[in-house]
Amino acid sequence: MPYKIAPDIYIYQSSMWQTNSAVIINETANLVIDPCYFPTEIRIIADFVSRKRSFNGYIIFTHSDFDHVIGHQYFKNFKLVAHEQFLLCDRNYQIIQLNDIDQTYYVRRTIPFIFPEPVITFQETYKIPIKGDELILVHAPGHTGDCIFTISPERGIMFAGDYLSNLEFPFVNFSPAAYRKTLNLAAKIITDYNITCVVPGHGDIAYGREEINDRIQSDRDYLTGLTEGTQDLLARGLQAGEIIEALSGLKYRNRRIEGVMLKMHIENIKILISELQT
C-alpha cells in the first residue's frame, strides 16, 4: 500500500533499497517520479495510475541511475522528463548494473528493459503546470551530473532523488564541489518554498523543518570532514592509498561507515582526490 502524503500524492516504496516512487494524480496531469523497482511493484503503480484518467501523463526521472529509470515502459504514452545531461549518461554501465542485480536476485522481467529516451529535457529549471499547483524541476548535480529536485510549492513538498536520505551518507558519483553547492541549494529551496516534507530517493520521508535541516547538516558535515581531511593529507604529500587508509574511519552521524557502505565511502575519497588534484 502507498503512503498518502497529500490529497493527490502517493509514495510507493520498493523492497529494493527502500527506493521511493511518487505518483501525483491531478485533473490536469498524472505524474510518476522514478517508477521502480521489481516488475510486480511497477505493475501495481501502473495499474493504480491507469485507473485515474487525466489529460496528460509525465514520468519525471530524478537522475539516470538504473534503479530510478527501470519502470518507464509500463506507462504508455507518458512524456519522459529529465535533465539534459541525462542524455550523456553511460547507458551501458547502467544496464550492466541492472543485469547484475537481476541475476543476483533471480528477477525475471517479462518486458525487456530499454533505456529511456526523454522527450522533454532542460538545463536549469522546468515547470509543469497542474491544477492548483505548478511543479518546479531544478538541476541539482552532485550525486550524478543529471540530478534534479522536483518541488511542489503549493503542498510544501520536495522530491529529492538520491539526496537527503536517512539511510545513506552522500554518494558522490559526479563532483564533491557540486554536491556541496546542491546541499546549499536544498537549504535555500526549503526556506524559499516553505518545504515541510522531503521525499528522498531511498529511505524514510523527512517531515518538518527540523528533520530536513538535520539531514542537510549531516551531509554537509560529512563532506566537510572528507574534504578538509583529504586536503590536509594531500598537502602533507600522502599518496592516494595512504589517504584512503587514513580516512576510511571517517564517521557519519557519529557512526563509523562499515560493511557495504565502506566501498561507497572509499569511492567518494577517490573522486575527491581526483577533483582536488585537477
Half-sphere exposure of 258 (CA within 13 A, CB side): 3
Q: What angle do CA 16, 87, 96 make, to 5 degrees?
A: 45
What pLDDT shows up at residue 75? 95
What pLDDT shows up at residue 1? 73
Domain that holds residue 174: 3-214
Of the chain, the end-to-end C-alpha distance in Å amounts to 48
Place of cell 529511505: 203
> Is 196 a member of any domain?
yes
What pLDDT shows up at residue 54? 78
> Is 248 a member of any domain?
no
Q: What angle do CA 95, 96, 99 make, to 5 degrees?
A: 85
According to DSSP, residue 147 is labeled -
What pLDDT shows up at residue 248? 94
- Written as nine digits, the cell of 177 is 564541489
Mind listing the pLDDT tens digit of every residue in the chain (278 residues)?
Answer: 788 999 999 999 999 999 999 999 998 999 999 999 999 999 999 999 998 877 899 999 999 999 999 999 999 999 999 999 999 999 999 999 999 999 999 999 999 999 999 999 999 999 999 999 999 999 999 999 999 999 999 999 999 999 999 999 999 999 999 999 999 999 999 999 999 999 999 999 999 999 999 999 999 999 999 999 999 999 999 999 999 999 999 999 999 999 999 999 999 999 999 999 88
What pLDDT shows up at residue 163? 98
Indicate the pairing of strand 79-83 with strand 56-60.
parallel
Under a CB-based contact definition with an 8 Å cutoff, are residues 49 and 25 in contact? yes
> Is 203 a member of any domain?
yes
Indicate the pairing of strand 29-33 with strand 20-25.
antiparallel
> Is 128 a member of any domain?
yes
**DSSP letter string, 44-94:** HHHHHHHTS--SEEEEE-S---HHHHTTGGGSTTPEEEEEGGGGGS-HHHH
Please give the radius of gyration of the chain, using alpha carbons only, rounded to the nearest integer: 19
Half-sphere exposure of 30 (CA within 13 A, CB side): 20
* Phi and psi angles of residue 23, each rounded to the nearest 5 degrees, phi first: -125, 130
> Is 253 a member of any domain?
no
Name which of 164, 177, 149 is nearest 209 in CA terms.
Answer: 164
Output the domain CATH number for residue 52.
3.60.15.10
> Is 67 a member of any domain?
yes
> Is 106 a member of any domain?
yes
Indicate the number of domains in the chain: 1
> Is 187 a member of any domain?
yes
CB atoms within 10 A of CB 92: 9
For residues 239 and 233, give the distance between their C-alpha atoms in angstroms, rounded to a whole number. 8
